[in-house]
């Protein structure tokens, strides 16, 4: 099929020669892979003459137009005359200018050549003359732009014959709030406040927004078939706060709204419109408590870590761990002792330690003291202790003795029973009560 070609190179003017002499012309082309065609008057190729070289007779009129064509090169047209035949040596056609066939996807992308916008179409040719360097950029809103450099210079890679440029990486403009928020992309630091996030084709990109004192937010943007493409613009706002509480001592345990969250420093999350009560506890120390709220009228939350320093518990130093606390001990009475003598001894021992007997009934063998209270002034730290005696058997005579030891950090009164819990320790002043009863009744 005949193809029209535009005249892309200067036509070498022939020298008029006489009609006498040989009319055969030889042509050689660089590169040797180029095809030489005869060119018709209408600019269409009419006959293939050879590859790399050709020899032929000049037609009537002693003028022949030929064109050298090779993929990736700008075609070169040459007018051959009788003077070329008379020279009796091959005519050399050097193809130096290159052509890149540019195929762009999507077809409505903007294309610039050396900074100048060229027509937007799916396929177009970029001419790169000998010694020239050209810059191409393809861009479209919402996609990552692609740049190409084509150089037609010695020592540099030759331009490609065809270059397929597909914009397949999306770009999401992400803004983060409040100001000063750090942005990390796929685990690497990017910057603050704003980022152009590239999302690869058939892949995902993870964005993390973080700021001291705030709960970080991670968001993933994916570009995959079958799912909604990422937005052009997005905003990430950090609302929830994060308070780091550092206890002293570091061995203290921490609770948030009654749920144990760990030992030592912990990060406490406070969500918008909510409150979190933090309790810090450690043996030998008074507990630390604070409530953090996030709302319009709430107290401003700390940005830096907050130290939860627990004051010492003086009652801890006045007590000892004991397996006798809150346990019923059965005490056998020497068979030589009467019930009356035994009850008298029990009463004497108990009243030596406790001033008040709430109930003492020899007939039923039941005795209960009032609470002896130890507390730390200006705090809700209270320890209460009492003794309960019950006759377990009349023959042989036996009693059960229970040393009740309870404590609290939150009661306002010794009568706030629901605030007290059993304590595995006994104040030192009561540690010999049960042993003394055992010794004196045996």
Decide if 6 is inside a domain: no
* 437 and 325 assigned to the same domain: yes
For position 145, what pLDDT does the model report?
Answer: 94
Which of 94, 127, 155 is where one domain is finished? 94
* 290 and 179 assigned to the same domain: no
* 107 and 190 assigned to the same domain: no
The number of folded domains in the chain is: 5
Contact 80, 72 (CB under 8 A): no
Decide if 156 is inside a domain: yes
* 88 and 43 assigned to the same domain: yes
The fraction of the chain above a pLDDT of 70, given in percent, is 94
Decide if 5 is inside a domain: no
Question: In CATH, what number is assigned to the domain containing residue 225?
Answer: 2.60.40
Decide if 386 is inside a domain: yes
Mean pLDDT of the chain: 91
Q: Is the pLDDT of residue 27 over 50?
A: yes
Decide if 180 is inside a domain: yes
Decide if 3 is inside a domain: no
* 267 and 303 assigned to the same domain: yes
Peptide bond into 3 cis (omega under 30): no
Query: CA-CA-CA-CA torsion for 422, 424, 425, 429, nearest 10 degrees?
Result: 60
**Distance separating alpha carbons of residues 186 and 184, to the nearest angstrom:** 7
* 288 and 350 assigned to the same domain: no
**Distance separating alpha carbons of residues 325 and 303, to the nearest angstrom:** 44
Neighbours of 145 (CB within 10 A): 14
Task: With CA atoms as reference, report the closest residue to 113 among 142, 147, 85, 82.
Answer: 147
Q: Per-residue pLDDT tens for 342-391?
A: 999 999 999 999 999 999 999 999 999 999 999 999 899 999 999 999 99
Which of 256, 287, 312 is where one domain is finished? 312
* 350 and 425 assigned to the same domain: yes
* 360 and 247 assigned to the same domain: no
Decide if 4 is inside a domain: no
Decide if 14 is inside a domain: no
**Distance separating alpha carbons of residues 176 and 47, to the nearest angstrom:** 67
Range of the domain at 372: 319-441
Question: In CATH, what number is assigned to the domain containing residue 435?
Answer: 3.30.530
- Predicted TM-score (pTM) of this structure: 0.65
């Amino acid at each position: 099929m005949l193809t029209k070609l535009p005249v892309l190179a200067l036509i070498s003017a022939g020298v008029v020669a006489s009609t006498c002499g040989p009319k055969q012309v030889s042509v050689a082309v660089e590169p040797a892979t180029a095809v030489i065609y005869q060119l018709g008057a209408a600019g269409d190729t009419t006959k293939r003459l050879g590859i790399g070289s050709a020899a032929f007779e000049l037609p009537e009129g002693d003028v022949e137009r030929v064109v050298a064509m090779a993929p990736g090169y700008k075609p070169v047209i040459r007018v051959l005359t009788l003077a070329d035949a008379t020279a009796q040596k091959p005519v050399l056609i050097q193809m130096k200018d290159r052509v890149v066939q540019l195929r762009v996807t999507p077809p409505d992308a903007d294309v610039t050549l050396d900074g100048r916008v060229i027509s937007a179409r799916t396929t177009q040719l970029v001419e790169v003359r000998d010694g020239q360097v050209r810059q191409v950029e393809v861009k479209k809103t919402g996609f990552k732009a692609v740049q190409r450099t084509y150089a037609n210079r010695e020592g540099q890679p030759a331009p490609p014959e065809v270059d397929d440029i597909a914009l397949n990486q999306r770009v999401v403009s992400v803004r983060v709030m409040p100001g000063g928020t750090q942005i990390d992309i796929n685990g690497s630091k990017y910057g603050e406040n704003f980022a152009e996030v590239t999302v690869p084709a058939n892949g995902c990109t993870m964005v993390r927004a973080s700021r001291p004192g705030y709960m970080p937010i991670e968001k993933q943007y994916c570009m995959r078939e079958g799912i909604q493409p990422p937005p052009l613009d997005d905003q990430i706002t950090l609302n929830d706060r994060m308070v780091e509480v550092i206890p002293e001592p570091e061995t203290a345990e921490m609770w948030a709204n009654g749920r144990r969250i760990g030992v030592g420093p912990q990060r406490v999350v406070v969500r918008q419109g909510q409150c979190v009560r933090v309790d810090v506890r450690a043996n030998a120390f008074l507990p630390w408590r604070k409530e953090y709220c996030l709302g319009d009228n709430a107290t401003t939350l700390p940005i830096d870590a907050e130290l939860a320093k627990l004051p010492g518990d003086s009652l801890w130093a006045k007590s000892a761990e004991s397996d006798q606390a809150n346990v019923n001990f059965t005490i056998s009475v020497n068979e030589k002792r009467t019930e009356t003598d035994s009850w008298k001894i029990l009463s004497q021992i108990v009243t030596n330690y406790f001033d008040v007997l709430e109930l003492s009934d020899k007939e039923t063998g039941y005795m209960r003291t009032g609470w002896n209270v130890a507390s730390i002034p200006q705090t809700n730290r209270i320890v209460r202790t009492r003794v309960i005696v019950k006759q377990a058997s009349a023959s042989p005579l036996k009693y059960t003795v229970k040393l009740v030891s309870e404590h609290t950090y939150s009661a306002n009164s010794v009568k706030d029973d629901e605030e007290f819990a059993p304590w595995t320790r006994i104040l030192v002043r009561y540690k010999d009560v049960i042993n003394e009863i055992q010794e004196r009744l045996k």
